[in-house]
Amino acid sequence: MSATTRSPLERRRGRIFAPFLAPALALYTALFIGPTLYSLYTSFTDWDGINSPQWAGTRNYSQLLNDPAFRSAFGNTLKIVFGVGAAIFVLSFGFMLMLREMRGRRVIRGVIFLPHIVSSVVLAIFWGVLLSLDGLLNQALDGIGIDPVEWLRPGWTMSAVLVALVWINTGYYVTILMAGVDRIPVSFYEAARLDGTNAWQRFRYVTLPLSWDVTAAAAVLWTITSVKIFEFILAFGGNQGALPPTYQWNNAMFVYGETVGGITPVNQFGYAAASAVTTLVFVAVLVIVLRRLMRREPLQF
Amino acid sequence: MTTTVATQPAEPRAPARTPRRRRLARVLARLPGTTAVWLFTGFCLFAFAFMLISSFKASRDILERPWSLPATPRFENWATAWNDGGFGPAFINSTVLVVTASAVTVVIAGPAAYVLGRRPGRLSNGLNLYFVLGLGIPVQVMVLPLYALMNSLELINSLFGLFVLYVVVSLPFTVFLLTSFFASLPAELEEAAALDGVSAAMTFWRIMLPLARGGLLTATLLNAMGIWNETLLALMFIQTNDKFTLPLALLNYFQQQQFTGADFGALFAGVSISILPMIGLYAWLGRRITEGITMGAGK
């Protein structure tokens, strides 16, 4: 890095490198990466969040394995990541293909994006009003002579959450996929059409390969955002200040529930940290696998 | 023949010679899909219309005749929500947090993104990766030590404490977005400025920053929307009603109502107070928002 080989521009830039970077780097390291590492450490301790942590080895982790609440929370996290994720991507691809040739596509895109820009608490309130016993859906069914259905019976509430999550997120992923597909030149499709291809072949050999990188990025994005889903579950399932029943928890809810959440917080910070770290490892592995599986030669067009 | 095909206009259009019967068959084949898309769109539209309209209805009307329009619009729902429901102070708290935190985030992330995006090299790449790492770390991982830290700093139940946290959690995405934005700007102006003897800091301030206005606005918007709707951190770090943000006020009002018999009219007025600014922002600057989202995903 001798000064003689560098242009005046590079020299000048070098001078501002550290001062420009320092504030962001310091804040991020101290209050983002630091706490993450500390979480890693406390997951091996007994900790109430106030007194200093006591080393506990891997006990938190083995306890997690046998905790029915955590097992169901992790199961629900899997349902969200894979089940809801699959539904969103199938729907988004379908919508994208329909929207390409539909009238009013701009309006549709704008409207289905709406759930993404408002608080999940709002959507949970609406979802409750929609599905409650004397709610919107049952009143509509009543109008066509169908008896009210108890949509919110204990065995069904988690499914209600999953369906809602599909509804909330589909518009967002349609937007992302559409942006990828809109970059494909129309001439490709016309050439393919002249070659006598059908709609499926055009999707398989033009749309899919040329939007592959966007699809891969969207899959990674869903993975890392879906494990953070929390507000909707809390607002939809909880009532009167209490937490939702544990069979409706996911990992994010578990961390809140085992620490400061609820009417009588249990403050098991070390234990909750272990569950959070488990989530982090799960996400990391999944992202690595996804990137491996979806890696393709980048296509220039 | 093929060369003329390659330079077609941008709009897709059916070849003119397609027989009418085949076109009809295509429309019919697409009918189930088209219907599904419209049903989904209609449902989204209905959900938002229902919430906004219910804010003008009496509680009993919402429960007994949810599908009807209000006989006479009840503006008092909004007054109740704003004054007694705590949505007034919450609106102010949320607004203050959104404005300060999204502005400060860009002020801190902008310069960092500039040097990372404009100075290729191993160090920059490594640091870039270090920031991107933050995108993959769920908030619930870091929130527990943060709670202990804020507790020892007596920043629990403090809007300032929440402001700091919002800046921190917004940093990785903002640095990531702006780095790719700065990297896409042309180099000539910078070089010319350097030859003219303009300092690097001045070049950033006077030349590159104005060029990056679009990216800065997009980043600010996305952060603002994220902070406006953020719930987990607010829930963990804020305890008293006077410091509630809008999602907390909503949650609190919603859960209180389950105790005391609900005033759904006021609840939906509170809901509307929370969603209308976002809808307005989206209607006004929607293109920037979707652009930023797709830019983040495309890289």
Query: Closest partner residue to B145 among A25, A39, A283, by Cβ?
Result: A39
- Other Cβ atoms closer than 10 A to B271: 29
pLDDT at A173: 94
pLDDT at B299: 47
Q: How near does any CA of chain B get to the CA of A291, in Å?
A: 13
- 8 Å CB contact of B298 and A217: yes
By CA distance, what is A175's nearest residue in B?
Answer: B290
- Other Cβ atoms closer than 10 A to A92: 24
Contacts of B294 in chain A (CB under 8 A): 175-176, 179-180, 214
Exposure string (b/e) for B63-74, b if CB count within 10 Å is 16 or more?
Answer: beebeeebeeeb
Query: Closest partner residue to B274 among A110, A122, A140, by Cβ?
Result: A122
Show the beta-strand stretches assigned E in A6-159.
Answer: 45-46, 54-55
DSSP A204: I
Positive or negative, the CA dihedral A9, A10, A16, A22 is positive
Contacts of A42 in chain B (CB under 8 A): 144-145
pLDDT at B61: 83
pLDDT at B162: 97
- 8 Å CB contact of B140 and A230: yes
Contacts of B258 in chain A (CB under 8 A): 239-240
> B57-103: per-residue pLDDT in tens?
988 888 778 788 888 888 899 999 999 889 999 999 999 999 999 99
By CA distance, what is B201's nearest residue in A?
Answer: A16
Give the separation between CA A6 and CA A14, rounded to whole angstroms: 10
- 8 Å CB contact of B138 and A252: yes
Q: How near does any CA of chain B get to the CA of A185, in Å?
A: 8
Q: What is the dihedral of CA B265, B269, B271, B273, to 10 degrees?
A: 180
Exposure string (b/e) for A209-247, b if CB count within 10 Å is 16 or more?
Answer: ebbbbbbbbbbbbbbbebbbbbbbbbbbbbeeeebbebb
pLDDT at A5: 59
Nearest to residue B113, comparing CAs of B58, B185, B35?
Answer: B185
pLDDT at A298: 65
- 8 Å CB contact of B137 and A7: no
DSSP string computed for B41-92: HHHHHHHHHHHHHHTTS-HHHHHH-TTSPPSS--THHHHHHHHTSSHHHHHH
Give the separation between CA B294 and CA B299, rounded to whole angstroms: 9
By CA distance, what is B269's nearest residue in A?
Answer: A122
Give the separation between CA A29 and CA B68, rounded to whole angstroms: 54
DSSP string computed for A210-259: HTHHHHHHHHHHHHHHHTT--HHHHHHH--TTPPPPGGG--HHHHHHHTT
Calculate helix-pair angle for B264-298, A105-117, nearest 10 degrees. 110
Residues 270-289 of A with CB under 8 A from B: 272-273, 276-277, 279-280, 283-284, 287
CB A235 within 8 A of CB A120: yes
Which residues in chain A come in under a pLDDT of 70? 1-9, 240, 298-301
- 8 Å CB contact of A16 and B250: no
Q: pTM of this prediction?
A: 0.90
CB B225 within 8 A of CB B102: no
By CA distance, what is A217's nearest residue in B?
Answer: B297
- Quickly tell me which residue has 């899909």 as its tokens: B33
Query: Closest partner residue to A25 among B112, B119, B297, by Cβ?
Result: B112
H/E stretch holding A36: helix A34-42
Q: How near does any CA of chain A get to the CA of B267, in Å?
A: 9
A154 close contact with B: CB closer than 8 A = no
By CA distance, what is B174's nearest residue in A?
Answer: A24
Contacts of B167 in chain A (CB under 8 A): 27
pLDDT at B1: 34
By CA distance, what is B152's nearest residue in A?
Answer: A50
Q: How near does any CA of chain A get to the CA of B118, in Å?
A: 9
Q: How near does any CA of chain B get to the CA of A146, in Å?
A: 17
A58 close contact with B: CB closer than 8 A = no
Q: End-to-end CA distance of chain A, in Å?
A: 37
For chain B, state the CA radius of gyration.
25
Give the separation between CA A218 and CA B238, rounded to whole angstroms: 33
pLDDT at B298: 52
- Quickly tell me which residue has 């988004």 as its tokens: A92
Contacts of A112 in chain B (CB under 8 A): 40-41, 44
Q: How near does any CA of chain B get to the CA of A49, in Å?
A: 5
Residue-by-residue pLDDT tens, chain B, 299 positions? 333 334 444 445 545 555 677 778 877 878 888 999 999 999 999 999 999 999 999 888 887 787 888 888 888 999 999 998 899 999 999 999 999 999 999 999 999 999 999 887 889 899 999 999 999 999 999 999 999 999 999 999 999 999 999 999 999 999 999 998 898 888 888 888 888 888 888 888 888 888 888 889 999 999 999 999 999 999 999 999 999 999 999 999 988 876 666 788 999 999 999 999 999 999 998 888 887 777 766 54
- 8 Å CB contact of A234 and B30: no
Using H for helix, E for strand and C for coil, what is the string for A119-137? CHHHHHHHHHHHHCCCCHH
CB A89 within 8 A of CB A154: no
A27 close contact with B: CB closer than 8 A = yes
Q: Look up residue B79 and give its two tokens.
A: 């007054």
By CA distance, what is A275's nearest residue in B?
Answer: B141
pLDDT at A63: 95
Distance of CA A19 to the CA centre of its chain: 35
- 8 Å CB contact of B286 and A110: yes
What ipTM was reported for this prediction?
0.90
A152 close contact with B: CB closer than 8 A = no
DSSP string computed for A134-187: TSHHHHHHHHTT-----TT-TTTHHHHHHHHHHHHHHHHHHHHHHHHHHTS-HH
Q: Look up residue B115 and give its two tokens.
A: 């040097």
